[in-house]
Amino acid sequence: MFEEKIKEAIAKIIKLKKKDIEIKKPFGTAEKFGDYCFACFGIAKKKKKNPKKFAEEVVKKLQKLKIKEIAKIKAVGGYVNFFLNKDFLTKEIIKQILNEKEKYGSLNLKGKALIEHTSLNPNASPHVGNIRNAIIGDVLSRLLKFHGYKTETHFLVNDVGKQMALLILGSKGNETFDNLLNLYIVMSKEMQRKPEIEKQVFEILEKIEKLDKKTMSKLKKIVKIAVEGQKEILSKLGIFYDVFDFESTYIKKDSILLKQFEKTKRLKKDIEGRCVLDQSKTKYQFEKSMKSPMLVLTRSSGVGLYVLRDIAYTKDKLKTAPVNIVVLGEEQKLYFKQLSASLELLGYIPPRVVHYSFMLLKTKQGIKKMAKRKGEVILVSEFIKQAIRKAKEEIKKRDREKDINMNIVSEAIGIGSVKYSIAKVEQNKGIIFDWEEALNFEGNSAPYLQYTYVRALNIIKKLGRANIGKAKVEEAKIGEQIYKNVSQKEYNLVKKLGEFPKVVSETLDKLEIHLLCNYIYTLAQTFNDFYESCPVIKEKDTAIKTRKIMIVKTSLIILKIVLDLLGLSALDAM
């Protein structure tokens, strides 16, 4: 909002395109150095002028434009510093937020968007190591909906693979969701001891790939138990799906897809009789460590591999919606390049991908990677219980049991702590998962954000409907006078509220959810600074009190929007 106005003014003065103009926030306080600055060095050099003198020329020309959003423009060295009009912008931002409410910041985009995330193997209960995918995907799904897309969230069930064949082999027909993981661990260890088991696993896998009725019946029973159990656990985290797709349904499409690849003249047979796709002349730069740019699509028996079914599945998704996103771990970067190259050979533009880094587990023995086969995992179901238990302990410490609904609040705080501790980390950075840090209730944490919302809500509650109604009347009666002589603390908060549209737009553009986390944390800090320095209820001046009430109301709106986007509960009390 502010940047665009400044860019437009500069573009008009120095005859440049707005997109080529870069403005930044200066180092130091806004009171001393302004809200934004524009460096003249590069342009001055091109024009063969002294940067300091050129900046002074720019300031003189800008001052003649009399931009209402800008109170003062100052040349400092080779920089042009902009001091925004606090009173005007406070009024404009507050009015816009109150007018647009929960739609404030939305790009109001049209059309359909499809996002695929989580896609766990249906062989066990989800563990902490693989919920990063689900949390990132869920926030992105909420973000797409916020910006106006008709959004469909998909979960691909990988029900064809060695894991499933192993479970079929060990199945007694009486499995429950809770004992699936144990059965998988037992069978994995058994396979390591007895090599003949692996041969049996491949025989079952071949039956699945040939859609053997008896084998498929067993598979479907196990998959149903697993998927229903996984759905229930993920729903406790507030994560839901519109469509569950099954890999097994794409087995029939293997031959059709192979014929399509034949037409590209890139499909070949290797010495083992496998169908391979030559990707050597695609635009993708594959890793030098790869011995060959050949992508193996089938076994020597002619049965399709996972990648062939994934290509068919992704093609179907691309036909369904113009906006397509998939969330994958960083270990799948090379695989996704291969998938993308394959799709482009068939004339499709690949979906956008969000890659995230690994999660390691901090234990008493040191840092280790979570391994499901060895049973070295923390199950999400157990972690949720632990998080809620920890939340209850914190509530008791603060002697708040009588003032709140303990079950609702502890669940909201506990689950929020889990989700936010993962969401706030940049996706390209690994997470060393530490129980204590994840459940920390101070600083940059979900409880801190939730408490800030409750704090703002309490001001409105204490004022009551009568005072809020009176504030509306006063705003209409006093008008512009309400927004005269806005204090720096008030302005700092309103300016931060006004930054939300840019942040939420950038988050969609980059698909990086930590940007939202960074924003709401600094917003919460700014609000709490306002709360401590600018009392609302005890304010004597009618105009100032009315303005402060408006600031609190707009803060509540933005805090609620971001909490919703992050899948965190906005509580009434804590």
pLDDT of residue 284: 77
405: amino acid identity, one letter = N
pLDDT of residue 154: 98
Q: How far is CA 391 from the centre of its chain?
A: 24
152 with 112: CB under 8 angstroms? Answer: yes
pLDDT at 94 over 80: yes
At 14-54, the pLDDT tens digits run: 888 888 888 888 887 777 888 899 999 998 998 899 999 99
- At residue 362 the predicted structure's pLDDT band, cuts being 50, 70 and 90, is low
pLDDT of residue 565: 98
Residue 233: CB atoms within 10 A of its CB come to 19
Across the chain, mean pLDDT equals 90
pLDDT of residue 343: 95
- Closest listed residue to residue 284, CA positions, set 240, 230, 245, 341: 341
- At residue 248 the predicted structure's pLDDT band, cuts being 50, 70 and 90, is very high
- At residue 461 the predicted structure's pLDDT band, cuts being 50, 70 and 90, is very high
Q: What is the mean pLDDT of residues 456-464?
A: 93
How is residue 516 written in tokens? 């939202």
Q: How far is CA 410 from the centre of its chain?
A: 24
- Closest listed residue to residue 375, CA positions, set 157, 161, 118, 127: 127
Which residues, in sequence order, are CB contacts of 136 under 8 Å at separation 6+? 117, 327, 354, 356, 423, 427, 513
Residue 508: CB atoms within 10 A of its CB come to 18
**Would you put residue 555 in left (φ > 0), alpha (ψ -120 to 50) or beta?**
alpha
**Would you put residue 397 in left (φ > 0), alpha (ψ -120 to 50) or beta?**
alpha
- Closest listed residue to residue 383, CA positions, set 233, 213, 283: 233
pLDDT at 366 over 90: no
pLDDT at 360 over 80: no
How is residue 120 written in tokens? 């766990």
117 with 328: CB under 8 angstroms? Answer: no
pLDDT of residue 235: 96
Q: What is the mean pLDDT of residues 156-173?
A: 92
The label of the residue with tokens 């437009």 reads: 8
Which residues, in sequence order, are CB contacts of 325 under 8 Å at separation 6+? 113, 114, 115, 116, 140, 144, 351, 352, 353, 354, 511
> pTM for the complete prediction?
0.90
Q: For the chain, which domains are there?
A: 2-84 (3.30.1360.70), 89-107+444-565 (1.10.730.10), 117-361 (3.40.50.620)
At 45-68, the pLDDT tens digits run: 988 999 999 999 999 999 999 888
pLDDT of residue 123: 85
- At residue 375 the predicted structure's pLDDT band, cuts being 50, 70 and 90, is low
pLDDT of residue 287: 62
At 95-141, the pLDDT tens digits run: 999 999 999 999 999 999 999 999 988 987 888 777 999 999 999 99
Q: What are the CA-CA distances from residue 116 to residues 133, 151, 241, 450 (Å)?
A: 10, 11, 9, 29
Percent of the chain with pLDDT over 90: 66
Using a 10 angstrom Cβ sphere, with 0-12 exposed, 13-18 middle and 19 or more buried, the burial of residue 221 is middle
